[in-house]
Amino acid sequence: MRASGDTLQGLDRASMFGAAPVVRVLALALIAYPAVVMAAQATLYRYPQFAIWAVGTFAISGVVLIWASSPLRLHYPRGAFVVTMTLGVAAHILESAAMVQGDPTAVKHASTVVLATLLLAQSGYCTPRQLLVATATVTAAVWVTFAAFGTLSATPPLVAPLMFSAPVLVFGTAAAAFATVAIAARREWESTAPQRAGVDSDELARGVARAVQQDHVTLLNREVTPLFQRALQLGEVDEQLRAAAAERSRLLRDVMVAESNRTWLQAAVGQCGAVSDPDRLAIGLEPEKRAAVRALIGQIGRHPQLVDGSLRIALSSGANGDSDVVDCSIEFSLDQTVPLAASRLTPYYGMLRALFDRFDYGTDGPARWLKFSYAR
């Protein structure tokens, strides 16, 4: 794919999960700001009904932006950018029509600020070329609208339209520059990530090996060493010592068998809940998908509203008649008496939706559930 066809969301969906709340705030500002500005100078409009329609059009644009930028949406809708910018230009025309044959410098134009904010809010979902084309198009629309509805008698030629179009030019070019730099940085990271991942993987493997060895040494020191010391003190092996040695042997064997049979999923859940995976299907999950599931489980386990022991994960194959597909269900409960929103899990839902097939989630009172499938 050519660089001009890339967007930050397409290259790095995780980064857009954090940007979604900011986009929502900007979308709400698109509704509140023009309403406040136009209400404050309502007496200056010759046709105030056009100003009211302009505020309504801005509101529709903000709603479309909130809907399109949902973190649970896999791709930003292709037509959302065109729709929001078209609605913004239409609202600008309505605002200008509200003061036909008036002095354009006598009022504060909220529409150009809103148009500039629309460009900036969608910088992570559009290509730099799209942002530059939209900036040029909107600027031209502002100039044409100014010439059609305004008068240049109050200011020198070109000064007023340039002043009013400045927010669009500044914010539009800034949005395109941000998108260009962010995409370049993401591509550079992709080119160097495999080498860094290899180094980090080797260091992590050595650290895990040391930790496992230390756990085994600790177990031996706690269970086996005292038995040997007792045998040295007695100078002989009696029946009681034989029974204790057999008990320690069974304990060590059980620990080794449990460690060899435990999957990464059971290790990730730990004491937070239970895993039902009799066929050990979790071991066939790809590394990137495994990382996403592990991140979700970690976030659920640290959630302050989680009901102790409520986390349940079940894996099965062939549920829909296809033995090559694994179905996974995750269930847990959140304490609704704790005044804390559960929305912190939303970005993880979005990541799983992007990685897995047939992803679905829902709630039933305090209970939460999500299901997804993947090929074996």
Query: What average pLDDT does this structure show over 223-227?
Result: 67
DSSP type of residue 284: G
Four-residue CA torsion sign, 36, 40, 43, 46? negative
DSSP H helical ranges for 106-238: 110-121, 128-149, 159-219, 225-234
pLDDT of residue 207: 55
Which of 225 and 140 is assigned the larger pLDDT? 140
pLDDT of residue 133: 92
Residue-wise pLDDT for 229-258, tens only, equals 666 676 666 677 667 767 766 666 655 555
The amino acid present at 355, given as its one-letter code, is L
pLDDT of residue 101: 53
Residue pair 312/330 in contact (Cβ under 8 Å)? The answer is yes
Integer Cα distance of 195 and 175 in angstroms = 31
pLDDT of residue 153: 42
Integer Cα distance of 153 and 106 in angstroms = 12
* pLDDT tops 50 at residue 3: no
pLDDT of residue 193: 59
CB contact burial 22-34 (16+ within 10 A = b; e otherwise): ebbebbebbbebb
Phi, psi of 188 (to 5 degrees): -65, -40
pLDDT of residue 216: 56
pLDDT of residue 209: 54
**Which residue's structure tokens are 């397409």?**
10
The mean predicted confidence, pLDDT, of the chain is: 75
* pLDDT tops 70 at residue 8: yes
pLDDT of residue 36: 84
* pLDDT tops 60 at residue 183: yes
pLDDT of residue 270: 73
HSE (side-chain half, CA atoms, 13 Å) at 20 = 23
The amino acid present at 20, given as its one-letter code, is A
Query: What average pLDDT does this structure show over 358-363?
Result: 81
Under 8 Å CB-to-CB from 119, ≥6 apart: which residues?
85, 131, 134, 135, 138, 168, 171, 172, 175
pLDDT of residue 318: 67
pLDDT of residue 52: 87
**Residue 138 tokens, joined:** 């909107």
Longest Cα–Cα distance of the chain, Å, equals 114
Query: What average pLDDT does this structure show over 149-166?
Result: 62
Partners of 177 in the β-ladder:
none
**Lowest mean pLDDT: which of 158-167, 187-196, 218-227?**
218-227
Residue-wise pLDDT for 86-140, tens only, equals 998 998 888 888 876 555 555 567 888 888 889 988 888 888 999 999 999 998 8
Q: Which helix (H) or strand (E) segment is 311 a member of?
A: strand 311-317
Instruction: For the full predicted model, state whether its pTM sits above 0.85.
Output: no
Using alpha carbons only, give the angle 35, 38, 40 rounded to the nearest 5 degrees: 105
* pLDDT tops 60 at residue 205: no
Most confidently predicted of 15-24, 85-94, 317-326, 353-362: 85-94
- Cα Rg, the chain, nearest whole Å: 31
- Grade residue 223 by pLDDT with cuts at 50, 70 and 90: low
**Which residue's structure tokens are 């290790």?**
267
Under 8 Å CB-to-CB from 249, ≥6 apart: which residues?
none
C-alpha closest to that of 167 among 118, 129, 133: 118
DSSP of 6-63, one letter per residue? Answer: --HHHH-HHHHHHHHHHHHHHHHHHHHHHHHHHHHTGGG-SSHHHHHHHHHHHHHHHH
Query: What average pLDDT does this structure show over 149-169?
Result: 66
pLDDT of residue 275: 83
- Grade residue 1 by pLDDT with cuts at 50, 70 and 90: very low
Query: What average pLDDT does this structure show over 288-301?
Result: 84
pLDDT of residue 137: 92
- Grade residue 2 by pLDDT with cuts at 50, 70 and 90: very low
